Chain A
């Protein structure tokens, strides 16, 4: 459950870049660890995000988990469907469970992230 064609952070977020806009979410591994997700907190459209910094949180019944932006830029869209349907993050983390879209300030940051093979090795306990 680590699709090719995406980039991954060590904090278990994925990024799908299309031109200078990137869609961001959390990975299958992350949603599985969290259990039933009941709340997603993301900043408003127009907010700035910085690679490596906390920009929101995902909450399961039992726990709050920070989400770290894998890229720097400006939020251009937030997935409003997660407001009433946060469970989409569990059911479809790479599709309808997307969290924000970011206009990238520096597309070269994507190279700092892991590819699918690298993330797979990271999750399975190897180093990447």
Chain B
């Protein structure tokens, strides 16, 4: 059976082909990995703007009289602190204190929320949330109803305004608004996964091609480049944004992952809170630390790590960082060996190569 036949395609598939994109399977989708080159696209996002097709991402709708208390119970962050039209980063928690998924929770109102979830997890997340729900909450996987594009970079605001004219909402960071774009329902959010200013625009699939073409046309004079999943990964790593399946998963807690800021201790009980509380009391035994290579070599996901001469797990994420022009990564290091300045080794093709823990984020945009 030809494997390509099983891959899902986004509504923008033909446009990517016309742009000469290299595609590859990702989470069951055929996705553009790069167009002009990962380094080129990464630098465009850092200095001008990039446009990403992220239609593979999942969207789960949570509605009902008890939607708010349901999300308070199932996620780590405090949805009662969200204004209508505001989003925040959070964890769908499991009873062991680990991540079912990391998500962006969007609050339309106290009885209506949308979660943007990882592509590979949408089915799992919906089933888990449905298992926790009662009759006063409905949980619907709406992933098939939304395409999504991300416009990211210092020029993103200018480009959005020029592209959409009067329809471009004036949004603050982490705020979102419904819109009607090219005759299709849409949600424009000032969010992103790159460490730059930007927008993630959800749109009904039939409107996606017109939106993409309009943004590209408006953006090209500003240096906008179409950008793929290759650059998306190097950008998020420089910004120390976690990737589910590499940096976080069902066995890692938000405390271990350096994400305690998304744990709302004071909001009341929630799934896994008891485990997190014990961890906080006892101290975490390992922590996701940022590092840079001091010896010659690129650390990558899965490469073995040696700390104080002993095997100590593996690299979670690692890559060449195009803006920083360094080789960086993330790894869980044992408590006591996770502080900035700690030296350890990454084993690359059977040879130990020196690395050093550094503060994160590796890159922070200047306002």
Interface, chain A (partner B; CB < 8 A): 35-36, 38-39, 41, 57, 59-62, 64, 83
A38-B298, A38-B320 are known contacts. Are A62 and B39 too (CB-CB below 8 A)?
no
Q: Are B39 and A57 in contact (CB under 8 A)?
A: no
Say which one of B3-11, B30-38, B78-86, B254-262 lies at the interface with A: B30-38
The 3 closest A-B pairs by CB, nearest first: A38-B320, A61-B38, A36-B39
Nearest CB on B from A26, distance (A): 17
Nearest CB on B from A72, distance (A): 21
Nearest CB on A from B34, distance (A): 6
- Bound CA–CA A83/B230 (angstroms): 23
- Bound CA–CA A39/B322 (angstroms): 12
Interface, chain B (partner A; CB < 8 A): 22, 33-34, 37-40, 230, 234, 296-298, 300, 319-320, 322, 327, 349
A61-B38, A61-B319 are known contacts. Are A39 and B230 too (CB-CB below 8 A)?
no
CB contacts (< 8 Å) of A59 on chain B: these are 298, 320
The residue from B37, B230, B296, B300 contacting A64, defined by CB atoms under 8 A apart: B300
Sample (7) of A-B pairs whose CB atoms are under 8 Å apart: A35-B230, A36-B39, A36-B322, A38-B298, A38-B320, A60-B38, A62-B33
- Bound CA–CA A36/B321 (angstroms): 12
Q: Are A62 and B298 in contact (CB under 8 A)?
A: no
Residue of A nearest to B327 (CB): A39
Q: Are A35 and B38 in contact (CB under 8 A)?
A: yes
| Chain A contact residues: helix, strand, loop or mixed | strand
CB contacts (< 8 Å) of A61 on chain B: these are 38-39, 230, 234, 319-320, 322
- Bound CA–CA A41/B348 (angstroms): 11
CB contacts (< 8 Å) of A60 on chain B: these are 38
CB contacts (< 8 Å) of A39 on chain B: these are 297-298, 320, 327
Residue of A nearest to B231 (CB): A61
Residue of B nearest to A62 (CB): B230
Q: Are B38 and A62 in contact (CB under 8 A)?
A: yes
CB contacts (< 8 Å) of B22 on chain A: these are 35
Q: Are A35 and B37 in contact (CB under 8 A)?
A: yes
- Bound CA–CA A36/B34 (angstroms): 10
CB contacts (< 8 Å) of B40 on chain A: these are 36
CB contacts (< 8 Å) of B38 on chain A: these are 35-36, 60-62
- Bound CA–CA A57/B320 (angstroms): 15
The residue from B37, B327, B349 contacting A36, defined by CB atoms under 8 A apart: B37
Nearest CB on A from B15, distance (A): 21
Nearest CB on A from B37, distance (A): 5
Nearest CB on B from A67, distance (A): 12
Nearest CB on A from B257, distance (A): 24
Nearest CB on A from B31, distance (A): 13
List 20 other contacts, CB 8 Å, given A35-B34, A36-B37: A35-B22, A35-B37, A35-B38, A36-B38, A36-B39, A36-B40, A36-B322, A38-B39, A39-B297, A39-B298, A39-B320, A41-B349, A57-B349, A59-B320, A60-B38, A61-B319, A62-B38, A62-B230, A64-B298, A83-B296
- Bound CA–CA A64/B301 (angstroms): 12
- Bound CA–CA A61/B328 (angstroms): 12
- Bound CA–CA A58/B291 (angstroms): 22
CB contacts (< 8 Å) of B34 on chain A: these are 35
- Bound CA–CA A62/B38 (angstroms): 9
CB contacts (< 8 Å) of B33 on chain A: these are 62
CB contacts (< 8 Å) of B327 on chain A: these are 39
- Bound CA–CA A64/B300 (angstroms): 10
- Bound CA–CA A60/B33 (angstroms): 13
- Bound CA–CA A62/B34 (angstroms): 11
Residue of B nearest to A63 (CB): B300
CB contacts (< 8 Å) of A62 on chain B: these are 33, 38, 230
- Bound CA–CA A73/B37 (angstroms): 36
- Bound CA–CA A64/B230 (angstroms): 14
Residue of B nearest to A87 (CB): B39
Residue of B nearest to A60 (CB): B38
CB contacts (< 8 Å) of A38 on chain B: these are 39, 298, 320, 322
CB contacts (< 8 Å) of A41 on chain B: these are 296-297, 349
CB contacts (< 8 Å) of B297 on chain A: these are 39, 41
- Bound CA–CA A41/B298 (angstroms): 10
Residue of B nearest to A36 (CB): B39
Residue of B nearest to A66 (CB): B349
- Bound CA–CA A83/B300 (angstroms): 19
Nearest CB on A from B363, distance (A): 16
CB contacts (< 8 Å) of A57 on chain B: these are 349
CB contacts (< 8 Å) of B320 on chain A: these are 38-39, 59, 61
